[in-house]
Amino acid sequence: MKTSISALATIVALGAAPAMAAHLDYYTADLAALNGSGVSGTVFLTYDGPEDDGLRKLTVQVAARGLEPGAHAAHIHGFPIADREASVAPTDDVFMPNVAGPGNDGDGFTELLEGADFYGGILETLTGLTADGAGRVFYSTIFDVTAGGELDDDVFSLDNREIVLHGMTVDVAPDGPGGVDGFTPAPANFNAFLPIATAKFERATLDDRPDMTPVPLPAAGWFLIMGMGGLGAMRRFGRKTA
Ligand SMILES: [Cu+2]
Q: Is residue 145 part of a domain?
A: yes
Q: With both helix axes pointing from N to C terminus, report the angle between 219-227 and 230-241 in degrees, rounded to the nearest 10.
A: 120
Q: Is residue 108 part of a domain?
A: yes
Q: Is residue 122 part of a domain?
A: yes
* 61 vs 4, more confident: 61
- In angstroms, what is the span from residue 231 Cα to ligand 1's centroid? 34
- In angstroms, what is the span from residue 22 Cα to ligand 1's centroid? 30
* 164 vs 98, more confident: 164
Q: How confident is the model at residue 83 (pLDDT cuts 50, 70, 90)?
A: low
Task: Supply the pLDDT for residue 225.
Answer: 47
Task: Please name which of 32, 16, 49 lies closest in space to residue 157, comparing C-alpha atoms.
Answer: 49
- In angstroms, what is the span from residue 218 Cα to ligand 1's centroid? 32
Q: What is the mean pLDDT of residues 146-152?
A: 66
User: Residue 43 and residue 93: Cα distance in Å, rounded?
Assistant: 22
Task: Supply the pLDDT for residue 31.
Answer: 95
Q: Is residue 188 part of a domain?
A: yes
pLDDT in tens, 188-237: 578 888 899 999 998 888 887 877 766 655 555 544 444 444 444 344 44
- In angstroms, what is the span from residue 31 Cα to ligand 1's centroid? 13
Answer for the pair 60, 141: CB distance below 8 angstroms, yes or no.
Answer: yes
Task: Supply the pLDDT for residue 191.
Answer: 84
Q: Is residue 235 part of a domain?
A: no
Task: Supply the pLDDT for residue 92.
Answer: 82
Q: Is residue 44 part of a domain?
A: yes
**Is the pLDDT at 82 greater than 80, yes or no?**
no
Taking a 5 Å cut-off on Cβ, the residues next to ion ligand 1 are 75, 164
* Domains in the chain, number: 1
User: Residue 86 and residue 120: Cα distance in Å, rounded?
Assistant: 10
User: Residue 186 and residue 165: Cα distance in Å, rounded?
Assistant: 22
SS3 of residue 28 by DSSP: strand
Q: Domain limits at 47?
A: 7-217
Q: Is residue 179 part of a domain?
A: yes
Q: Is residue 212 part of a domain?
A: yes
* 241 vs 88, more confident: 88
Q: What percent of the chain has pLDDT over 90?
A: 28
Task: Supply the pLDDT for residue 235.
Answer: 42
Task: Supply the pLDDT for residue 240.
Answer: 38
C-alpha gyration radius of the chain: 19
Task: Supply the pLDDT for residue 173.
Answer: 63
Q: How confident is the model at residue 157 (pLDDT cuts 50, 70, 90)?
A: low
- In angstroms, what is the span from residue 75 Cα to ligand 1's centroid? 4
CATH of the domain at 184: 2.60.40.200
